[in-house]
Structure 1
Amino acid sequence: MTPADLSMTVLHAVRRAVDENALRAPVPARVRVERTRPGGRGDYASAVALQLAGPAALTAREVAEILRERVVGAPGIGRVEITGPGFLNFTLDASADVHRALLDRVREQGMRYGHGDAHAGTPLRFGHPREVRAAVTADAVGRLARAQGARVSVGCDEAPDPDWARLGIIGDAREAEPSSTEIRPVPAGATAGELLGRLGPDATRWGLLRPAGHDRAPLGDDLLVQGEGNALFVVRYAHARTHALTRGAALLGFTSAPGDTPAREALALLALVADHPGVLLAAARHRAPDRLARHLEAVARAFLDFHDAASPLPVGDEKPSAAHRSRLALAEAAGTVLAGGLSLLGISAPAHL
């Protein structure tokens, strides 16, 4: 179950409670769920009961109990607890069926895994000044919004810099319309030509997009270093490694197949793969491609930890087993998430490094 699935499950519980007259409150447009903070309970938490308590003329814990009764037992949810003044805490079902369904969904949807229809048909207009970081950020925001079904146009306040085309920004010559949402991050302090000459297009885009828009973008030569201190290298290396595993498995005569409940080492990576649709939606809603960049870094590091702890390929005299096929399926899902995410940031994901 993804965060988006969980949000929809809780929203359905609210609607059911209202329909059954157990809860007299307006049904919200959406229910927000978040990863439980360190020291909290379960995998996810929601404050929806606190949001509905006032309109329902009930305490938040009473609302939480009404919703808990209607969520317990839903597919993909293992346990629901109420903590504090009325927070709902969800522990997801870690069964093999749930994991298989997740990996099957990633395989079926491929690079479009995580895309949605939250903005289906909605016209969105973004404008930006004639500055390279603003142009790259607006381009990435547009890509994220299109992945949620929006009809997007992006315009610059002035004639665009010709070098922007080398950063994958095409057709940006329209004037920004008065109704446009302005994209105006902290300027890069350099032109596109200067950055491209020193870093190339991929490192330039990553360097401009990885920090939050209100932070200065570090654009040093460390973006080209092939080491674990360079997040872009880690993400692309992890993606290339997933392809190497698939090639290695083919040489050994086996392919991936989601199997039984994976080892403990896989759970962190599975959770991040499941989070991907929610991350894409949040990045689109908040016009924040940095959220996606940070998520890709977390996926890459979790994959490398998983790979080191439980190799998807046989080691030494081992023969390929169901466990290896299952691990390979998870590795390939991680590779799909990394490739799809990099594509939305306008960055290439080579199969070889």
Structure 2
Amino acid sequence: MTPAQLAAAVRSALLAAVEAGELRVEVPAEVRVERPKQKGHGDWATNVALQLAKAAGRPPREVAQLLAARLGAVEGVAGVEVAGPGFLNVTLEAGAQGLLARQVVEAGAAYGRGDRLAGTRVDLEFISANPTGPLHLGHTRWAAVGDALGRVLAAAGAEVTREFYVNDRGVQMDRFGASLMAAAHGREVPADGYHGDYVPELAKQVVAEVPGILDLPEDEQLVRFREEGYRLQLAQQQDVLARFRTSFDVWYSERTLHESGAVERAFARLREQGHVFEQDGATWLRTTDSGDDKDRVLVKADGELTYFASDTAYYVDKRARGFDVCLYMLGADHHGYVGRLKAIAACAGDDPERNIEVLIGQLVKILKDGEELRLSKRAGNIVTLEDFVDLAGVDAVRYSLCRYPTDSPLTLDIDVITRQANENPVYYVQYVAARTASVSRNARDLGVERGPAEAFRPELLSHEREGDLLLALAEFPRVVATAAELREPHRVARYLEELAGTYHRFYDACRILPRGDEGATDTTRARLWLNDAARTVIANGLDLLGVGAPEQM
């Protein structure tokens, strides 16, 4: 019996009690069950009696007793205890609990996926970068966490569009073109330009791909170097992200925002809402009405659009594309954007607490040989995503970045996250993936199979460590749903680490395969089902983080 099935049984008991006139309450659409904090308090617990007691006009324990009587008759429930002020502690029969192993294996990659966020369209923007150089360490954190969050949201039923906002408009693009042009001519790059070994490399590539570019008039050269460099550098960013297993559905160009008329449409929408005004020759958005600390300029007195105009139009455009939630993942230096983005939503007539969310990611430091890694020769003054991956590998980098809350600064030691030892969390989890695969291979070598599903005897999984592992596996769908609702993919990583420890204890206490001349028994086959269920959940969880589940290490 899965937690979802037990929750449905509790809800059915509530409905039956209401229909029988024993309770007069509105039955909630969803009932939550969770693992008790202490052993001996059953396999699962629910506080639904406490939640409904006031509405029912009855003491919580009295409501709990009514439900306990009905739940005790449910197939697969061994016992129900009313504890404390009105908690229901439920103990499952061994067979009902063990059946989960087969259900997990049969569900395969679908196990853990649910519909908690079904019907919600989410635009997830988690990298916003200039196409003027390599992606840096700050982008790396969002590349890992943003991609993992997209996977988790989709697993919870949301319709997710992953979006990369290309900052391809503005003075930085001209400086980029001027830097490439100077490098191509062997001149010193302007002081306010772009530096690093990638600039002459890129300039050389542009010259090779555009014959005659150095003979063009300088103003034409600047444009060609800017545009060709843009194309090549964006392609490099896309290639690096693909190797990092981070994918996007939309690469949204800031230029197209302005060229498509989206800015004018946004301004018209905001004028209709009554929040645009003129003052001192400039056009303003009255964001102070919506909690911002000051009103914001959209168009300067000289007619030039501000960056805030782009931010405003971009949000309105997202909502016009039909997204229910616009989720922004911004860097540590963007705290000031939270209030103004929320104000944009309010000025557009939206609910800033529902239609827009902003997550701020704190800085990451990398240690190598005990010293902070500070810069890349290729990029000039930053550590790049490529550098980090080359040093530690995709799996180690992704897992290490995903296992911590994003709102706290992070220091990662290359020597630790690449060490093949249990103190390295990614190794600890991946080792279980490899061990479970090894057990299956060894079983095949011995000619031992799980056998057909109808021959599976779940009641044989009655050892305490088997019960612990089954309960841990049953938690996975709830962990995924919670991680999606709270926008916290690190919960998946921490769950996997707990599951890994639980599996190791099961493996040590419960011999899975026969030894010597021993023959396979029904217990052997039942434990193979459980082993493969653990493999399934570890693989599914790692996949949500974009990390591989190796079959051997």
Q: TM over 0.5, yes or no?
A: yes
Partner of 1:332: 532
Aligned pair count reads 351
Correspondences of 1:94-105 after superposition (within 5 Å): 94-95=94-95, 98-99=97-98, 101-105=99-103
CA 1:14 to 1:185, structure 2 compared with 1: closer, same or farther past 3 Å? farther
Partner of 2:204: none
Partner of 2:291: none
Given the alignment, which residue of 435, 460, 469 partners 1:261? 460
CA 1:333 to 1:60, structure 2 compared with 1: closer, same or farther past 3 Å? same
Deviation of 1:120 after TM superposition, in Å, equals 2.7
CA 1:19 to 1:40, structure 2 compared with 1: closer, same or farther past 3 Å? same
CA deviation string 1:205-248 (max 9, x = no partner): 10111123333334212111111111211211111111111111
Give the Cα separation in 2 of the matches to 1:321 and 1:166.
Answer: 45
Given the alignment, which residue of 168, 184, 200 partners 2:360? 184
CA 1:204 to 1:68, structure 2 compared with 1: closer, same or farther past 3 Å? same
- Any stretches of 5+ residues in structure 1 without a counterpart? none
Give the Cα separation in 1 of the matches to 2:410 and 2:31.
Answer: 33
1:198 is aligned to 2:391: yes
Given the alignment, which residue of 165, 174, 177 partners 2:242? 165
Partner of 2:81, secondary structure, is strand
Cα pair 1:126 1:183 within 8 Å, conserved: no
Mean Cα deviation higher: 318-327 or 266-275:
318-327
1:245 is aligned to 2:243: no
Mean Cα deviation higher: 179-188 or 276-285:
179-188
Give the Cα separation in 2 of the matches to 1:218 and 1:8.
Answer: 43
Mean Cα deviation higher: 139-148 or 10-19:
10-19
Deviation of 1:152 after TM superposition, in Å, equals 0.8
Cα pair 2:162 2:247 within 8 Å, conserved: no
CA deviation string 1:242-289 (max 9, x = no partner): 111111111111112443422333221121122222222222222221
Cα pair 1:79 1:91 within 8 Å, conserved: yes
Cα pair 1:114 1:280 within 8 Å, conserved: yes
CA deviation string 1:27-48 (max 9, x = no partner): 2232222211126611222221
So what's the TM-score if we normalise by structure 1? 0.90
Give the Cα separation in 2 of the matches to 1:295 and 1:93.
Answer: 25
Partner of 2:159: 151
Partner of 1:65, secondary structure, is helix
CA 1:47 to 1:157, structure 2 compared with 1: closer, same or farther past 3 Å? farther
Partner of 2:133: none
Cα pair 2:450 2:526 within 8 Å, conserved: yes
Partner of 1:33: 33
Given the alignment, which residue of 286, 293, 296 partners 2:493? 293
Deviation of 1:98 after TM superposition, in Å, equals 4.1
Partner of 1:173, secondary structure, is strand
1:55 is aligned to 2:55: yes
Deviation of 1:76 after TM superposition, in Å, equals 2.7
Deviation of 1:334 after TM superposition, in Å, equals 0.6
CA 1:74 to 1:250, structure 2 compared with 1: closer, same or farther past 3 Å? same
Cα pair 1:103 1:330 within 8 Å, conserved: yes
1:345 is aligned to 2:545: yes
Cα pair 1:134 1:187 within 8 Å, conserved: no
Partner of 1:155, secondary structure, is strand
Partner of 2:44: 44
Give the Cα separation in 1 of the matches to 2:520 and 2:157.
Answer: 41
CA 1:54 to 1:191, structure 2 compared with 1: closer, same or farther past 3 Å? farther
Q: Please identify the structure whose Cα radius of gyration is greater.
A: 2
Partner of 1:5: 5
Give the Cα separation in 1 of the matches to 2:521 and 2:40.
Answer: 37
CA deviation string 1:127-174 (max 9, x = no partner): 335433233222212111212222112334555954333321212534
Partner of 1:35, secondary structure, is coil
Partner of 2:187: none
Which amino acid counterpart does residue 204 of structure 1 have in structure 2? V
Which amino acid counterpart does residue 173 of structure 1 have in structure 2? W
1:276 is aligned to 2:481: no
CA 1:274 to 1:156, structure 2 compared with 1: closer, same or farther past 3 Å? same
- Any stretches of 5+ residues in structure 2 without a counterpart? 129-138, 168-233, 253-313, 320-324, 328-357, 366-382
Partner of 2:305: none
Deviation of 1:335 after TM superposition, in Å, equals 0.6
Which amino acid counterpart does residue 88 of structure 1 have in structure 2? L
Deviation of 1:26 after TM superposition, in Å, equals 2.2
Which amino acid counterpart does residue 55 of structure 2 have in structure 1? P
CA 1:272 to 1:39, structure 2 compared with 1: closer, same or farther past 3 Å? closer
Mean Cα deviation higher: 171-180 or 47-56:
171-180
Correspondences of 1:11-160 after superposition (within 5 Å): 11-38=11-38, 41-95=41-95, 98-99=97-98, 101-128=99-126, 130=128, 131-156=139-164, 158-159=166-167
Give the Cα separation in 2 of the matches to 1:15 and 1:69.
Answer: 14
Give the Cα separation in 2 of the matches to 1:170 and 1:39.
Answer: 42
Deviation of 1:90 after TM superposition, in Å, equals 1.3
Cα pair 2:101 2:529 within 8 Å, conserved: yes
Mean Cα deviation higher: 27-36 or 168-177:
168-177
Mean Cα deviation higher: 144-153 or 17-26:
17-26
Which amino acid counterpart does residue 199 of structure 1 have in structure 2? A
Taking every aligned residue pair, what percent have the same amino acid on both sides?
37
